[in-house]
Each structure stands twice: as structure tokens, then as C-alpha cells.
Chains A and B, each alone.
Chain A
């Protein structure tokens, strides 16, 4: 049914045909019932678990205080939640990538978010309302040339005088304290998207004030 496939840019036709055939096979099996569905779900979960373990292994430094069992649990939870999300979003797949690439990103996201939250679960957020006041003394290294020092001083002055308290709080936590955005979102009871919007708006205001907006 070529007419039902959304138009996408394709550089390599043979590769794209393989990709489309593979994707249709996955979608057909996952939407089937009985043994075909069960086998497709089992295979997909196996793939997602592999991806989650890959992600957790990459971030093992953040999980140094977690034992093997905990890390295995995180991988399984990530794969389970990724599978649930995928099965609920099959209609969102648009044949613009390989089906497996589309599926893997859910497992990567789940494992990455769990790792960041786990690493920060016993830590207080280092939100210091005086951080912007003391930043110049901590950051403006005398070795820096005058132009760079003046530019940073102008940015910090704009942070203090042009941004709202919430924008300052978010910018300080994400940029100065390097709190992961998922962790900050969880602690503030908001979403990653909403926090990034706050960050984006604050940055745009700073760029405008110091004349760096393109």
C-alpha cells in the first residue's frame, strides 16, 4: 500500500524499501493477536532491555553507589516503560526512520532519566539565591582578557536585573549548578519541556540585552 506511507525524503531507495518492509513487519506483528503478537512483544522487549542496559552502562559512573541488582531493576523498569509507551504510540511512527531506531529512543530516554534521578535522589538541589552575586568573583579569572570579563559581567548584570526570580532560579540550577533538567523538573513539580521553555526565554532575553541575538 505505497499510497498510505507518509512522504519522506529518501536518499537510498533500496535501503528505504528494506526499512519500510521491516517496519511494516513489526507493526503488523505488534498489532496482531495471539502468538504472533506475543512473540513480537517478547522480541521488542529483549531489544529494549539491551538498549536500557547499554545506557546504564554508559552512565555507570553516576550509579557507582548502586548495586548490581538495583541497576538490573533500573534496566528492566526502563524496558517495561519503554515497551508500554511504544505500544501506545504505534500510530505515531511515521516511517521516517528505521522502526528499531524509533523504538530504541524510548528505552534510551527511560534509562537516562532513571539514571539522573537515581544519581540525585539523596542530594539537595544546590540552589543558592546569592549565586549570581558571588559569581563574578568565582568566575572572572584574571587571566581572561578584558573583553571576555566585561561580557560575562554584562550577562550576569542582565541576569540580576532583567530576569524574573523563576527564570533566575531555573538558569542558576541548570547552568551554574548543572542540575539535570529531569531532576529539576521532578523537584519543582513541572515538566522537562516547561523548564526548557523557561530556560529558552531567559537566554533569549539575555542575548537581546547584551546584543548577541542573531
Chain B
């Protein structure tokens, strides 16, 4: 994919957001630990916490915090 195409798709995704039902930022924070533990345990995290994946797609700040928590837990001894 070319860089202009990537920029275009990122812009359209940012403008339209995820189309499925999504959590709010508050709900995302409340359930982030459940979702990440579920991911790391190899469970079906998206079934356990419906709407989380959609929210992480639409909210860059929550997505960053999700990635950080997951990576912290995977790097801890």
C-alpha cells in the first residue's frame, strides 16, 4: 500500500470511526484489566468484553494505554 493510500485510509477511519457498538472511555478503563488478562491467557477477549476492540480501534488514547498495559505485563519477570 502506498503512503498516500495509508494516509487516506487512516483519515477516513478516523472520521467515520468503528461501525460496531463500542464501549465508552470510562467502560474501557473499567474493563481494560479483564480484557488484557484475557488476551494474555489466550482466551477469547473480544467475546468476554464485547465492544472493547471497537473502542480501541476508534480511540487512540485508550489504544495506547491498552498496548502499554499488555506490554508491561509481558515484560515483567
Contacts and interface: CB of A to CB of B under 8 A. Distances in A.
Contacts of B11: 139, 152, 175-176
A197 B60 CA distance: 14
A114 interface: no
A151 B12 contact: yes
A196 B25 contact: yes
B33 to A, nearest CB: 4
B69 to A, nearest CB: 5
Contacts, number: 117
- Main SS of the interface on chain B? helix
Contact of A144 (B4, B26, B34, B61): B4
Contacts of A144: 4-5, 8
A190 B15 CA distance: 21
A109 B29 contact: yes
Given A54-B72, A193-B24, A181 B61 contact: yes
A139 B8 contact: yes
Contacts of B72: 51, 54-55, 104, 108
Interface of A: 9, 11-12, 15, 51, 54-55, 58, 92, 96-98, 101-102, 104-105, 108-109, 112, 116, 139, 141, 143-144, 148, 151-152, 155, 159, 171, 174-176, 178, 180-182, 192-193, 196-197, 199-200, 203-204, 206-207, 210, 212-214
Interface of B: 2, 4-5, 7-8, 11-12, 14-17, 19-20, 22, 24-26, 29-30, 32-34, 36-37, 41, 43, 48, 58-61, 64-65, 68-69, 71-73, 75
